[in-house]
Amino acid sequence: MATSGGTSSKNRRGVLRLVGYVAAAMMVGAGSTACMSPGSGDAGGSTLVFAEGTGPSSIDPLGPGITGPGLRAWRQMYDTLVWFEDGKFVPQLATSWKTVDPLTWEFTLRENVKFHNGEPFDANAVKFTMDRILDPAQNATQRSRFGTVDSVEVVDATTVRIHTKKPSPVLLLGLTQAFIVPPKHTAENGGKAPDEPVGTGPFKFVSWRQGEKISFTANEDYWGGAPKVQNLEMRVIPDDATRLDSFMAGEVDINMNLPISTIDTVKRHEEASVMHEFSRAALLLEFDTTHGGPMADPLVRQALNYAVDKEALIATILNDTQRPLDGQVESAASLGYNKSLSAYPYDPEKAKQLLAQAGYPNGFETVINGPIGKYPADRDLVIAIAAQLEKVGVRATPNVTDFGSFIQAVGATKAGPMFLIGWYDFGDPALSTSWFTSESTLGQYYADPTYDSLIAQASSTLDVEKRQRLYERASQHMHDEAMALFLTQPAMYYGVSKQVTGFVPRDDELITLQDVAVDGEAN
Amino acid sequence: MGKRTDVLSFAAKRMIRVPVVLLFVMTVVFGLVHSAGNVVDQLLPPEATAEQRAELTRQLDLDKPLWAQFGSFLARSLQGDFGFSVFYHSPATSIVLERLPASLMLAGLSIMVAIGIGIGLGILSAVRAGRFADVLINAVAVLGQSMPSFWLGQMLILVFAVKFQLLPTSGYNSLAGLVLPTLTLAAFLIPQILLLTRTAMIESLEQQYMLTAQAKGLPTRLLVFRHGLRNALNPIIASIGLQLGTLLGGAVLTESVFGWPGVGRLGVEAILHRDLPVVVATVVLLALVVMLTNLAVDLLSAAIDPRVRVS
């Protein structure tokens, strides 16, 4: 008993000592950050810290499942042949391009560009990248953008031709997401995405920790000029409140996706400002028009458009952070925006009249499906819309679930009779209009021959003027037939530190950070 | 001699339980995954063709009878193969293992801090039972126990990171980044350890042998620690062992608030992404860690208190 008692007290002292060490280590750690100025990293030079709620799902810039966060992150270290700015395509690794014939595009490449590991950029790198994207085994997200591409031909070291099976007006747009990767470096890794990826972009890769942060350092030799900061950190802080706290404490310089309720708090902060840009996106209710019921009748769909007070939703639920759609999916900056259209006014009397005309004088029962936590205040919107429909006799049950289950139901054509969804246009109406054709890859909710034919024509002509007219007619038809309940054009809000200059929000949310500077920090 | 065989046979008995419980866990997980709907629909994009569906159905053995599917699930799992993550596009096991150290570190540190503070204050409270210090400590403990961790975490961030800027708000970069999440998690454990220590100590201090020891003229410090605490330690260790599971998997809120890249957050995000392979890998691996720590706690209790070995 006595001996074992001695052992036990020795153990206990051991534990206590360990706790002491940990406490001491924590104090030292705390002390060292206290002297660190906010937002600064461990490496020397100025550091820009960008934060959002999610990060890339994989280190492969040409892998599967690449969404906004991935496109945003990898854009900082990779270049593409062309880029999209202020509504037009601008040169990046291609200095010029032309169509030799409707099925052949020729690109002249920028000379003397090197990857971060010294590997030269040339026509072979472009062909390697495009072949990698088109290889079904690679399962690249970008592959769906190049469905019409037949082959890629190296003409000489600085000339590449892309041959398409049919005229592809959206080829250039697809190329803005085709991150050019180095052939040799990738091959050395057995063809898998390297753990130490290299690109030609303004920033060089340093490290990545899944769900935590990506660190970059400046590429001083960038062909477009060195970035304004030495280091770039793209952090993932999932909790909105904590991301805001990190921003308020000065650890984060740019805080993407401010929740509606915090915008005023940030505006009041002396060291910060709020910037925003309306997105090339449309939030709307889609109808299932192909399975009978009230939603198959255009009169009912028009009635529902008149029955919802968009302005009131924006003023009360969305704190005036969004604006109403102009009775169409496209917004003013988009090709295919129809200037002569405007939002369905709020007119409950007219709605009742149309419902009576359609044979529903006493309304009907229906369901509004929607996701939770995908769009700002999505759940509240669905509930508020249901309440507004009630006033014209349409008794709608709000049914909201997590986005995973929701999008599965949408894909399986089980989200009808109507559901809340947001569609991005990414610079061209080809994608955002595809959901309303019978060719949609996400559920079969529409089968309108007029609309189908307009979209089919528009997506196979290269003449921009002609496409504009075709998409305008498609918008008009969609408005008249009330193929959706048009709600709002969302906006993305950023908290930006006053020390940051040169940050420009983009309507496609694919911000670039090489021209952003952080001043006033003696780090 | 006898003591040694005692310990060994006790350890052997406890170790047999591990595979049995694990089999039970895997059965439940398999059942849940199968009731979650068609896996093929979840894995394939909506535009997938009928051939792609059939191909994947064959690959996943979904065309076989249920018992055969369960068998191959067990066989694959034993080799550490829980399938391919739908969201991260890499093996589910490696994703969970990559996140595990962050969680283990946070849980381990929190337990140490909680033990230090909880037992320390518990003893103080027991020795001063009924007096001011005891009442104060008890009040704070009750308050601590009723504070939700996401709220406490936010408050700690506001005070120490935003107001005084002594510590970073979130992240996994430095030792300093550990302080606030550790305190938040520990705050959840401390009241329980503290109250348990207090009760066990008061009971232990009232025992006859304490009177004997006191009569022997032992100094109070020795009296409290060697005789009192040693006898009170067993229920405390047992309860800490039980809390480990909660700390690892249940640290979801704390991990989210502090942007901590641990398994709790991974598991919840995997559920939201419908990433079933990662959900399964998280649950099974966490179950394994919890069982192994419980085994370690059992063995430790047996080493400290011979009565445990016998019963």
Helix (H, G, I), strand (E, B) or coil at B287: helix
More confident residue, B57 or A25: B57
The phi, psi pair for A243, rounded to 5°, reads -65, -40
pLDDT of residue B50: 72
Check A33 against B166: CB less than 8 A apart. Answer: yes
Confidence of residue A65 (pLDDT cuts 50, 70, 90): confident
Residues of A with CB below 8 A from B172's CB? 209, 212
What is the pLDDT, as a whole number, of residue B41? 67
The pLDDT-based confidence of B57 (bands split at 50, 70, 90) is confident
How far CA A519 is from CA of A47, A48, A51, A235, A244, in Å, comes to: 10, 10, 18, 20, 21
Structure tokens at A199: 């690109």
Decide: A238 and A54 in contact? Cβ < 8 Å. Answer: yes
Tell me whether residues A26 and B46 touch, CB distance under 8 A. Answer: no
Mean pLDDT of chain A: 88
What ipTM goes with this model? 0.70
pLDDT (tens digit per residue) in B80-123: 898 888 778 788 999 999 888 888 889 889 999 999 999 999 98
**Does the beta-carbon distance from A403 to B257 stay under 8 Å?**
no
> Is B162 in Cβ contact with A251 (below 8 Å)?
no
CA distance A233 to A426: 25
pLDDT for A187 beyond 60: yes
> Which pLDDT belongs to residue B289?
86
With left for phi above 0 and alpha for psi between -120 and 50, is residue A249 left, alpha or beta?
Answer: alpha
**Cα-only R_g, chain A:** 27
Q: What percent of chain A has pLDDT over 70?
A: 91
pLDDT for the residue numbered A34: 33
Q: Would you call A64 an interface residue with chain B, using a CB distance cutoff of 8 Å?
A: yes
Query: What phi, psi does B227 have (nearest 5°)?
Result: -90, -45
CB atoms inside a 10 Å sphere around CB A407: 19
Q: What is the pLDDT of residue B49?
A: 66
Identify the closest residue of chain A to B275 by CA–CA distance: A404
Greater model confidence, A510 or B65:
A510
What is the per-residue pLDDT for A102? 92
Cβ–Cβ of B259/A8 closer than 8 Å? no
What pLDDT was estimated at residue B308? 67
pLDDT over 70 at B38, yes or no: no
CB contact under 8 A, A241 and B154: yes
Question: Which ranges constitute the DSSP H helices of B36-91?
Answer: 39-43, 50-59, 66-78
A93-136 pLDDT tens trace: 999 999 999 999 999 999 999 999 999 999 999 999 999 999 98
Q: What mean pLDDT is predicted for residues A470-495?
A: 96
Average pLDDT, chain B: 83
Calculate mean pLDDT across residues A288-313. Answer: 96
Q: Indicate the helix (H) or strand (E) that contains B143.
A: helix B132-145
Instruction: Select the residue from A3, A13, A22 to test the B interface by mutation, using most B Cβ atoms within 10 A.
Output: A22
Residues A423-474: tens digit of each pLDDT: 988 778 888 898 999 988 788 999 999 999 999 999 888 888 999 999 999 9
Q: Do B272 and A212 touch (CB under 8 A)?
A: no
The backbone region for B44, taken as left when phi is positive above 0, alpha when psi lies in -120 to 50, beta otherwise, is: beta
pTM (two decimals)? 0.80
pLDDT of amino acid A28: 36
What average pLDDT does range B278-282 have in this prediction?
Answer: 91
Residue A201: phi and psi, rounded to 5, are -75, 180
Can you give the pLDDT at residue B46? 54
Pairing of strands A231-236, A47-52: parallel
Nearest to B157 among A57, A242, A403 (CB): A242
Average pLDDT over residues A125-149: 90
- Pairing assessment for the beta strands A231-236 and A203-209 based on DSSP bridges: unpaired
Q: Measured between alpha carbons, how far is A129 from A181 in angstroms, rounded to an integer? A: 6
Query: Is A463 in a helix, a strand, or coil?
Result: coil
pLDDT of A521 over the 60 cut: no
Neighbours of B142 (CB within 10 A): 11
Q: Tens digit of pLDDT for each residue in A364-417?
A: 999 999 998 888 889 999 999 999 999 999 999 999 988 777 887 888 889 989
Of A302-316, A330-344, B151-165, the range with the highest mean pLDDT is A302-316
pLDDT score of B47: 54
Strands A395-402 and A365-372: parallel
Which A residues in the span 247-276 are in contact with B, Cβ-Cβ below 8 Å?
248-251
Length of chain A: 523
Q: What is the pLDDT of residues A340-376, one digit of tens each?
A: 999 999 999 999 999 999 999 999 999 999 998 888 8
For the cut 80, the answer to whether the pLDDT of residue A250 exceeds it is yes
Q: How far apart (Å, rounded) are the C-alpha atoms in residues B284 and B26?
A: 7
Q: Find how far residue A98's CA is from the centre of its chain.
A: 29
**What does the pLDDT read at residue A9?**
39
Question: What per-residue confidence (pLDDT) applies to B249?
Answer: 64
Mean pLDDT of B260-289: 86
d(CA A316, CA A235): 32
- Name the pLDDT band for B44 (thresholds 50, 70, 90): low
CA distance A232 to A236: 13
Sign of CA dihedral B250, B256, B262, B268: positive
Would you say A160 and A153 are in contact if contact means Cβ atoms under 8 Å apart?
Answer: yes
- Highest mean predicted confidence (pLDDT) among A321-330, B67-76, B78-87, B279-288: A321-330
Is-contact A300 A358, C-beta < 8 A?
A: yes
Condensed to tens digits (0 to 9), the pLDDT of residues A15-58 reads: 334 434 344 343 333 333 333 333 434 446 899 999 998 888 88
In this prediction, residue A4 carries a pLDDT of: 36
Q: How many CA atoms lie less than 13 Å away from A236 in the CB half-sphere?
A: 21
* pLDDT mean over B42-71: 74
Contact (CB, 8 A) for A226 and B138: no
In this predicted structure, what is the pLDDT of residue A506?
A: 93
| Burial status of residue A486 (CB atoms within 10 A of its CB: 0-12, 13-18, 19 or more) | buried
The total number of residues written for chain B in this structure: 311
- pLDDT at position A287 over 90: yes
For residue A395, list its beta bridge partners: A365
Closest Cα of chain B to A133: distance in Å? 16
Q: Is the pLDDT of residue A333 over 90?
A: no
- CB–CB of A29 and B116 under 8 A? no
Please report the pLDDT score of residue A40 as a whole number.
Answer: 39
**Res B13: pLDDT:** 82
Contacts of A213 in chain B (CB under 8 A): 171
DSSP string, B205-228: HTSHHHHHHHHTT--HHHIIIIII
Asked if B165 lies within 8 A of A250 by C-beta distance, the reply is yes
Residues 11-40, chain A, touching B (beta carbon < 8 A): 12, 15-16, 18-19, 22-23, 25-26, 28-30, 32-34, 38
